[in-house]
Amino acid sequence: MEQQPPVERRGVRRGMYVLPSLFTVGTLVCGYYAILATQKAGQFLALSNPLPGVPPDASPHLAQASMALDNAARAIGWAIVADGLDGRIARLTNTASAFGRELDSLADVITFGLAPAVLAYVWGMSAIVEMPGAAQIIHNIPWLVTFGFVICGAARLARFNIDTVKPSSDRRFFVGMPIPAAAGFVAAVVHFYKQPLSTWEFSAAWLVIVGVLGFLMVSRMRYFSFKTLDLRKRRSYLAIIFIGLVVGGIWIYSEPVLLTLAVTYAISGIVLRITSRIRPHPPTPEEVHAA
């Protein structure tokens, strides 16, 4: 008897190709929600201080604005989780495709470029924008820096798309800070403090931090990629305990733990650059220029 072709298996196989893209769409949804939540926070902030000389802390709208900003930061955090899963699932199921890579890059521009830039602007730079008596050029610096963050993130992704066609055997490092890590830094800071900055001194410091994040994305500094981490291999029980403590710490003390992780990863590239200058490492194959 002639064996019938496995129609259902082929259908399941086609469905597996859709699975990574669904996580990418989830990343895009989180980014869109973060932008809407930040816009809502901006409306509450406009209502919190309607008259000159009225302290914003006296307005009940400030708490609502802080909650909306925290929701936007949380959405970016969940987007980082979804973004990490789509590529890993594609590799585990052997369903990577050119369409999926392009869709992922386009989603990253919105979720990890535009959304954190808007969040950084509304949360931390209103004091500079609304500074009385300042020149117009001072008022324009915040939007210029946050727009530079978006441009650096887009350039980071464009470099990734070009370099994916180049042969590479060293998957241990990213070249330049990944755009999800830069977005995660912004989200972690907002999630930790929640209440928007109200003094121009702190806003100026935040302005510098956002500019440095943009520079790190387009720099040649190396960052650990964790792409060589194979979850299918057996691990020591100490590693399982460590991962469990980190997950538990994020669940119970999300504000300080996430901020610590974000700051540690951000400065790790700078530390690697300094140590490589002091003690040059032997030449390695070309690093991964991943997003």
pLDDT tens column, 89-117: 777 777 667 777 788 889 999 999 999 99
Phi-psi label, residue 224: left if phi above 0, alpha if psi -120 to 50, beta otherwise:
beta
pLDDT digits (tens, 9 = 90+) for 59-81: 678 889 999 999 999 999 999 99
User: What would you report as the CA-atom Rg of the chain, rounded to the nearest whole angstrom?
Assistant: 22
In angstroms, rounded to a whole number, what is the distance separating the alpha carbons of residues 149 and 152? 5
State the DSSP string of 16-75.
HHHHHHHHHHHHHHHHHHHHHHHHHHHHHHHHH--STT--GGG-THHHHHHHHHHHHHHH
Give the residue extent of every domain in the chain. 7-278
Three-state DSSP at 222 gives strand
Res 52 pLDDT > 70: no
**Tens of pLDDT, residues 13-40:** 555 567 778 888 999 999 999 999 999 9
Q: Please compute the mean of the pLDDT values over residues 113-135 and round it to a whole number.
A: 85
Across the range 172-177, mean pLDDT stands at: 81
Percent pLDDT > 70 in the chain is 76
Q: Report the greatest alpha carbon distance in the chain.
A: 89
Sign of CA dihedral 89, 241, 190, 273: negative
Least confident of 17-31, 35-49, 120-134, 139-153: 120-134
Which of 6-10, 140-144, 205-209, 231-235 is the least confident region?
A: 6-10
pLDDT at 262 over 70: yes
Range among 86-95, 249-258, 275-284 with highest mean pLDDT value: 249-258
Question: Binning pLDDT at 50, 70 and 90, where does residue 41 land?
Answer: very high
Q: Which residues of 13-40 are buried (b: 16+ CB within 10 A; e: fewer)?
A: eeeebeebbebbebbbbbbbbbbebbeb
Candidates 122, 116, 121; CA nearest to 77 is: 116
The per-residue pLDDT for 222 is 87
**DSSP character at residue 262:** H
pLDDT above 90: residue 57: no
pLDDT at residue number 127: 80
> Given this model, what pLDDT does residue 135 score?
62
Mean pLDDT of the chain: 81
